[in-house]
Chain A
Amino acid sequence: MEVQQFYYDNKIVKKFLYAAILFGVVGMLVGLLLAVMFIFPNITDNIPWLSFGRLRPLHTNAVIFAFVGNTIFAGVYYSLQRLLKTRMYSDFLSNINFWGWQLIIVAAAITLPLGYTSSKEYAELEWPIDIAIAVVWVVFGINMIMTILNRRERHLYVAIWFYLATFVTVAVLHIFNNIELPVNMWKSYSVYAGVQDALVQWWYGHNAVAFFLTTPFLGLMYYFLPKIANRPVYSYRLSIIHFWSLIFLYIWAGPHHLLYTSLPEWAQNLGVVFSVMLLAPSWGGMINGLLTLRGAWDKVRTEPVLKFFVVAITGYGMATFEGPMLSFKNVNAIAHYTDWIVAHVHVGALAWNGFMAFAVMYWLLPRIAKTELYSKKLANFHFWIGTLGIILYTIPLYVAGFSQHMMWKQFNPDGTLKYGNFLETVTAIMPMYAMRAIGGSLYLIGILVLVYNIYKTMTAAPQVEDELAEAPELIRISPTRVKGERFHAWLERKPIQLTILATIAILIGGIVQIVPTLVVDSNIQTISSVKPYTPLELEGRDLYIREGCVGCHSQMIRPFRSEVERYGEYSKSGEYVYDYPFLWGSKRTGPDLHRLGAKYSDNWHFNHMYDPQSTSPGSIMPGYKWMFDNKEMNIADTENKMRVLQKLGVPYTDEDIANAKAIMKQQAQQIEDNLKNDPDFVKSYEASKKAAQANGEKFVPMSDREITALIAYLQRLGTDIKVKENK
């Protein structure tokens, strides 16, 4: 057996970690800005690209794909080389992976604030960026699989299984959820509508949590925790059971995001059952992680890196206990749409992902720089302020979530809602929002301390060099089972077969849930009174998407007495058949909007969108003044949009499309006429006409501005089947 010498690629690991730190700071800063906006809603007044609706997806994408994503790549590139005793297959592919991913992040950071969004949560990016993500992800996969094929270690350690499952599943999810037809470079429509879109989106959305935030980090846990604690994992057998049962069960859980919605009930129930079962493998993994530290708890006292790990794994345990509980229908009825969910995801993000990322950073960077961490004291400070930050972030939001639930559902003895005005339920929890911002600030201070500590460590250290290593060549043995070899031993040295098996495990759940919803028509009722959007409403809907209204407003009234009383008739699946994409939302910072149409006058909407506090004192909705600017709405693509939707199955006739502009003008003019019923509007409208003349600007009539289209859409919402109320 010839002993071969080779170099581990440390530079790529360093680059990914630096990127993770940079984007971690950016993502958390944006998060803090958003938290502050709850208290000062108009802090970025009249700056469209800094408005809440556009920044929220930037925050989630930055934290998930930039901060956690880069940490995953760093951890995988470090551990994969060492577990397989070989350098990454191709430096070129490694660098494509790195620079491609950073370019995607920059593209996201530019396009999301500009309002280019598909509005599907954690999949907001428009189609050109989606394609880039798929390409870079496949580059990562090829690089990883080729490295595995060129390895010098026969066995594939369980961490690598988690990496492989991550690669395959994220590819499948990303591609299927982002199938869309482009209208132009920065606008596309999802090929799924309404209920189907919702199911595909949450099959994706939940498994983005499962296979981007969980499985790769479990792989990192199974590598780094034994390595740092210097003892093997508590039970390797348990880790195998953890792996297979987790990936087999996780993929079914998506519909628990859609309980009590118009999703067919059998799909909801499948989601519940599998979510509850998930508790077993999740806790098995958590226990396996914590027990790995058996006999090493004295080290936890002195090593900040291990402290971060302990809180990270505990956070995993808490979030994965809470998750199954939240998917019980009766608990979900309480928690869904409230701040409880925000608290829940932040236990996962701040503790599990954040703290494990910090642990890996503190341990790995000094190690590849062949130095010691600049200050353990500062790392300890980071640990404590970060932990305090998590507590101060989550507890107020749990309280807020329960308050919302109780206030939303409280009735007076005479059968009316006790808090009939939604606003009362918002102002009541303002102190909680303030405390959350403080918790977030503490967490942010923590990562800034990390930046300083790492900066001091790395500037004092020698340049990070690739590391020389040696290992004996791997003797090729028969591709079939050798004598006496058991099936699993054979499978575990055959990465391709292992990957195929893992793929089958994740496809079963996806196919059983999604195929029937897509192909069986009887799952979606048809309602004859439901008609496609008019051209103006369609443009208004796209503005609603652009401004990210879906971040705070749901369009899904659940069949509860409290919701029917507050919002109107509960939502039917047949009402959404022309919704490309669906806009059900997942959070009610403001009220549900599904039956908003015809509830208020056009003037009310006009004033409310310009200055929400003028119609609703105490509201925390920001104004959307730029939609009122003396500017024509962009309607260059209206016909193209209708043609794309026609292809997707919306019954627009060719005549509708040919007359789109005329129909649009007519409806817009009607809204302008309605607005003129308000003498205040007439007065300020005339004044602005004069001002434009005085400045020599062209005056654009209100009917051609964006706000008119938005009002048209808002007034249409839920009116197709609106039942006449007998009060």
Chain B
Amino acid sequence: MLKFIKHNMETISGIEIYPIIALLIFFLFFTGLIVWVFTYKKSVINEISRLPLQNDNENENQTNTNL
């Protein structure tokens, strides 16, 4: 599999820097994402995730219990 991607960009000058840039972008992106989600307060997460469940009126209460 790797033989397909290993050599085909060697001719571009300064190519060595690209894998490093790519690694940095991805590392930072996903690390940032993980930091993002794990610095949430549990209470806030719970509150936000219940947003779809808030009942808007009587009628909805009724249908919810029917289901």
Residues of A within 8 A of B (CB): 8, 79, 82-83, 85, 153, 155, 157-159, 222-224, 226-228, 230-233, 236-237, 240-241, 244-245, 248, 265-266, 269, 272-273, 299, 303, 328-330, 367, 370, 372, 467-469, 486, 488-489, 508
Contact = CB atoms under 8 A, between A and B. Distances in A.
7 closest Cβ contacts across the A-B interface? A236-B49, A232-B49, A237-B37, A157-B51, A469-B56, A269-B5, A227-B52
A272 B52 CA distance: 37
B30 A245 contact: yes
Contact of A269 (B8, B39, B46, B47): B8
A236 B48 contact: yes
Contacts of B30: 245
A488 B59 contact: no
A216 to B, nearest CB: 16
Contacts of A79: 52
A230 B37 contact: no
Interface residues of B, number: 34
A223 B52 contact: yes
Contacts of B29: 244, 248
A83 B38 contact: no
A236 B53 contact: no
Given A83-B51, A241-B33, A329 B39 contact: no
14 contacts: A82-B54, A155-B48, A157-B48, A157-B51, A158-B48, A159-B52, A237-B40, A240-B33, A241-B33, A244-B29, A269-B4, A269-B5, A303-B67, A329-B4
Contacts of B5: 269, 272-273
Contacts of A508: 25
Interface string B15-40: 00000000001000110011011111
A362 to B, nearest CB: 12
Contact of A237 (B25, B38, B63): B38
A663 B4 CA distance: 47
Nearest to B64: A230
Contacts of A273: 5
Contacts of A226: 49, 52-53
A469 B52 contact: no
Contacts of A265: 8
A269 B6 CA distance: 10
Contacts of B48: 155, 157-158, 236
A240 B52 contact: no
Contact of B53 (A8, A232, A240, A269): A232
Contacts of B4: 269, 272, 329
A227 B57 contact: no
A157 B50 CA distance: 9
B39 A488 contact: yes
